[in-house]
Structure 1
Amino acid sequence: MINLDAILILVGCFVAMLLLRFPISITLAGSALVTIMYLDVPWVVVGQRMIQGMNSYSLLTIPFFILAGQIMSAGGMALRIVNFAQLFVGMVRGGLALVSCVACMFFGNISGSAVADVSSIGSVLIPAMKKKKYDADYAVAVTTSASIQGVVVPPSHNLVLYSIAAGGVSISSLFLAGIVPGILLLVTLMAVSYIIARKRGYEKGDPIQWKDVPKIIRDGVLSLLVGVIILGGILSGWFTATESGALACVYAFILTFFVYRDIPLSQMGLIFKRTFRTVAMVLFLIAASDAFGWMLAYLKIPTLVTDLFLNISDSPFVILLLINILLLLLGFPMDMAPMIMIMTPILLPVVTSIGVDPVHFGIMMILNCGIGLITPPVGTVLFVGCAIGKVSINQATKASIPFFLAMCVVLLLLTYIPQISLWLPGLFHGTP
């Protein structure tokens, strides 16, 4: 039997605590606790579910990926990636904008984080674009939009979060599934950047001296090997995702401190501190989400949502369109990680009931949530880009509209052409 009063209490507490600006982890755990009190279920259930939520070997992957990204970000890796990207597209009209797109793709393959992308690449390229007379709002818009590639391409820790929220979907399949959509997103954003750059008459990039090319290639390849270690180890079967992450940390440590020597070894303590802070927030969020998710399942909310969508239409085309609209709208007030942890257990039963592969839906979900990172009022990536470029949120939001629409087009292609996501997993694994 459906307990509507308990559902209203759960949803009401969640919305009220969000409006009161409680941290999202406290909001999730607190909403579950209040609802459990109403249902007269022992309070200890919340604690048990939170502990069980963190009792997963797959979770070890996240700290390693975050640590590897932090080590690489702390050094001069961003500038090396930018120089490497400039070899390919730097001499085209509006070349710095295209370099931003390619560099964010490369750096996303190292950090797996959109915020790390825009912080590292943006701090190099946004001032450089402004110096070359690019409009500041355009420089911010293209860099923040391009950084969303970091949440789709491996080794995105958001894909790991989805795997956990979805009940153990293969991480290697998700990593493979993100490659082609990431390339499609890159090509689309580059096309939009180029069209705008030509229309506004932006300059070409500075020529690169031939004597510098070998060093630029060497540094770029060495930097990108982090992603090769992670993907290669997983796909070859030599390592699990967790073991690949650990090896990537060792490689990043050696490259940063003993090959490039960009920063002193004494900085490692600060890197560990930033990593521990990030990991603690992520793990607490996962624990709180598990308690909230258990409450959703206990109240049969996923079943209600599935029935609601199926009552609206039995067409997969319509249902997927409605889900995309719902996720895009939720992306405005919600941050990415909680959105993944909350909405995956609710929507996954809906899409599986109409025959959508969980891996395919995972890429849809991640891109949807990623688009939310550049939309106010909770667009974390947008805020970081505006701080670097010294432009207002309104200016950057208006300048981002063409890129937002382009990403929505890519999202629709991914939604209705499943093989864009599933081709590589099927090629390597037989079935995704």
Structure 2
Amino acid sequence: MGWILGLFAIFLVGIPISFSLGFVTLVGLLGTSLPLEVIVQRMFTGVDNFAFIAIPLFILAGDLMAAGGISKRLTNFSESLVGHWPGGLGMVTIVASMIFAAVTGSAIAATAAIGGILISEMVNKNYSPAYSAALVATAGSIGPIIPPSIPLVVYGVIVSASIAKLFMGGIVPGVLMGIFLMISNWFISKQRGYQGSKTRATVAERRAGLKDAILALLMPIIIIGGIIGGIFTPTESAAVAVAYALIVGGLVYRELSWKKIWKAFVNAAIMNGIILTVLMTANLFIWFMTVKMVPQEVAATLMSLVHSKWGALFIINIVLLIAGTFIDTTSALTIFVPLFLPIVKAFNIDLIHFGVVVAVNLTIGMCTPPLGVCLFVACGIAKITIREMLKDLCILLIPLLILLALITYIPATVTWLPNILGL
């Protein structure tokens, strides 16, 4: 346990997590008889997996879609559906984020794309900047839950679970996240007087919005349908997503220039480099922890404290919620999942259920201070500080925590759809 505390101490000093992981492991290895060559071997092993190809491809697909006008069309279609409800623009934000989640699988991409379009419009219609930013950040957290999902790909590789089952397991929780946020937005808007559009969109206007957005809406159907039908693997679906984004954004909508395409490729390469560096050093660190029997110690400690899987899940949720506030999702997955895996297996907790619970925990962390990345994106667009939005943020985190409790203690909310599909 001392090694884990040492890791967090170094990280809190300000050293990036990947370097913190590598440094702690190097210091630990110097005190053993193990050869240092194992560092290179374990780092290579950490990323030598075909499924990880999906990570840069999904990132690239999301960037291409945002640059290719897809987010704007999804927003316009969402407004035709729910824009007339109380808190109409807030409803549009949530619905558009849900649809965009099924297109990109990225919380940051959803927050940036939807926030860039709607935050200024919400402020112009007398929504407070703090509430607008908080709503966009929390709605963006749906991104990694509704498939495709980069965190679920990483989790699936770590525990050798079916990524297709994990993707399907995320659909119901992701939709419920959106519904819970919409209910909260409705009550808040009624209290604060946030009005929707004065007129309901006509059938013709909705049909026009659907026609304009239909190609964007078809993408998640193609990806998910292809995976369920066995046409392509989840990894191959990422390549299909890139090709589809290029064709729709470049040849159909004609909003993708060569400059935008180049920028999307560069951004995907940079993000992939950051993620793979974390995965390499995290794999090295977890291997060292395994050598030191730390996962077994953690499991033994938890087993002495709890005597049921529900108690174990409660403690794991608390740990992950705290960790998610200051560690990025990929790092938290690669550090904590192997640590908790022995106790998960000891209590016969379903790995698909556990994976989605972990993903929801960590995506809530993406919109939780002090280091929630979605908060920084939303605050940057709204030109406010995190402190200014803290009150509204705390209110909007309540429905997400209720959802977390629901999927934790009712596993069928996660496992029902994969089972009924026969995956």
TM-score bracket for the superposition, by shorter chain length: over 0.9
Residue 201 (str. 1) matches residue 193 (str. 2):
yes
Residue 318 (str. 1) matches residue 287 (str. 2):
no
Instruction: State the secondary structure of the residue aligned to 2:251.
Output: helix
Comparing 59-68 with 88-97, greater Cα deviation is found at 59-68
Unaligned runs of 5+ in 2: none
Aligned to 1:4: none
Query: Residue 210 of structure 1: CA displacement?
Result: 6.0
Give the 3 Å change call, closer, same or farther, for CA 206–108 of structure 1 in structure 2. Answer: farther
Query: Residue 275 of structure 1: CA displacement?
Result: 0.9
Aligned to 1:343: 336
Query: Residue 343 of structure 1: CA displacement?
Result: 0.5
Give the 5 Å matches for 1:186-197: 186-197=178-189
2:272 and 2:284 mapped to 1: Cα distance?
Answer: 19
Which whole-Å deviations, capped at 9, do the CAs of 1:387-415 have from their partners, x for residues lacking one?
Answer: 11122211212111122111111001100
Query: Residue 77 of structure 1: CA displacement?
Result: 1.6
Instruction: State the secondary structure of the residue aligned to 2:143.
Output: helix
Which whole-Å deviations, capped at 9, do the CAs of 1:19-43 have from their partners, x for residues lacking one?
Answer: 2211111111221111111123111
Count of residue pairs the alignment pairs up: 422
Confirm or deny: 8 A CA contact 1:257 1:265 kept in the other structure: no
Give the 3 Å change call, closer, same or farther, for CA 316–13 of structure 1 in structure 2. Answer: closer
Aligned to 1:24: 17
Which whole-Å deviations, capped at 9, do the CAs of 1:211-233 have from their partners, x for residues lacking one?
Answer: 54433212322112222222111
Aligned to 2:282: 289
Confirm or deny: 8 A CA contact 2:137 2:367 kept in the other structure: yes
Matched letter for residue 115 of structure 1: I
Matched letter for residue 178 of structure 2: L
Confirm or deny: 8 A CA contact 1:141 1:400 kept in the other structure: yes
Instruction: State which of 241, 260, 270 in structure 1 corresponds to 2:263.
Output: 270
Residue 215 (str. 1) matches residue 211 (str. 2):
no
Query: Residue 180 of structure 1: CA displacement?
Result: 0.4
Instruction: State which of 117, 127, 130 in structure 2 corresponds to 1:137.
Output: 130
Q: TM-score, normalising length from structure 2?
A: 0.97
Aligned to 2:143: 150
Aligned to 2:115: 122
Confirm or deny: 8 A CA contact 2:62 2:103 kept in the other structure: yes
Instruction: State the secondary structure of the residue aligned to 1:154.
Output: coil
1:67 and 1:224 mapped to 2: Cα distance?
Answer: 18
Query: Residue 50 of structure 1: CA displacement?
Result: 0.6
Confirm or deny: 8 A CA contact 2:80 2:205 kept in the other structure: no
1:122 and 1:400 mapped to 2: Cα distance?
Answer: 15
Instruction: State which of 171, 183, 197 in structure 2 corresponds to 1:179.
Output: 171
Query: Residue 123 of structure 1: CA displacement?
Result: 0.8
Confirm or deny: 8 A CA contact 2:152 2:163 kept in the other structure: yes
Query: Residue 209 of structure 1: CA displacement?
Result: 6.6
2:120 and 2:66 mapped to 1: Cα distance?
Answer: 18
Aligned to 2:273: 280
2:4 and 2:204 mapped to 1: Cα distance?
Answer: 62
Give the 3 Å change call, closer, same or farther, for CA 384–206 of structure 1 in structure 2. Answer: farther
Confirm or deny: 8 A CA contact 1:375 1:397 kept in the other structure: no
1:112 and 1:18 mapped to 2: Cα distance?
Answer: 27
Matched letter for residue 28 of structure 2: T
Matched letter for residue 76 of structure 2: N
Aligned to 1:11: 4
Which whole-Å deviations, capped at 9, do the CAs of 1:272-324 have from their partners, x for residues lacking one?
Answer: 11111111111111111111110111111111111111101212222211111
Unaligned runs of 5+ in 1: 1-6
Aligned to 1:48: 41
Instruction: State the secondary structure of the residue aligned to 2:126.
Output: coil
Query: Residue 78 of structure 1: CA displacement?
Result: 1.5
Aligned to 2:94: 101
Which whole-Å deviations, capped at 9, do the CAs of 1:136-184 have from their partners, x for residues lacking one?
Answer: 1111111111111101110011110111222x21100000000000111
2:186 and 2:81 mapped to 1: Cα distance?
Answer: 14
Matched letter for residue 196 of structure 1: I
Matched letter for residue 356 of structure 1: I
2:79 and 2:263 mapped to 1: Cα distance?
Answer: 31
Give the 5 Å matches for 1:288-307: 288-307=281-300
1:316 and 1:54 mapped to 2: Cα distance?
Answer: 31
Instruction: State the secondary structure of the residue aligned to 1:39.
Output: coil
1:344 and 1:416 mapped to 2: Cα distance?
Answer: 19
Residue 87 (str. 1) matches residue 72 (str. 2):
no
Identity of aligned residues (%): 35
Instruction: State the secondary structure of the residue aligned to 1:429.
Output: coil
Confirm or deny: 8 A CA contact 2:407 2:413 kept in the other structure: yes
Instruction: State which of 72, 77, 98 in structure 1 corresponds to 2:70.
Output: 77
1:206 and 1:164 mapped to 2: Cα distance?
Answer: 49
Residue 373 (str. 1) matches residue 348 (str. 2):
no
Comparing 124-133 with 317-326, greater Cα deviation is found at 317-326
Comparing 55-64 with 99-108, greater Cα deviation is found at 55-64
Matched letter for residue 281 of structure 2: A
Instruction: State the secondary structure of the residue aligned to 2:252.
Output: helix
Query: Residue 206 of structure 1: CA displacement?
Result: 5.8
Matched letter for residue 178 of structure 1: G
Which whole-Å deviations, capped at 9, do the CAs of 1:318-371 have from their partners, x for residues lacking one?
Answer: 221111111111122212111111101011221221121011000110000011
Aligned to 1:425: 418
Query: Residue 271 of structure 1: CA displacement?
Result: 1.4
1:220 and 1:34 mapped to 2: Cα distance?
Answer: 54
Instruction: State which of 391, 396, 401 in structure 2 corresponds to 1:398.
Output: 391
1:267 and 1:175 mapped to 2: Cα distance?
Answer: 29
Confirm or deny: 8 A CA contact 1:90 1:98 kept in the other structure: yes
1:391 and 1:266 mapped to 2: Cα distance?
Answer: 30
1:401 and 1:15 mapped to 2: Cα distance?
Answer: 25
Aligned to 1:160: 153
Q: TM-score, normalising length from structure 1?
A: 0.95
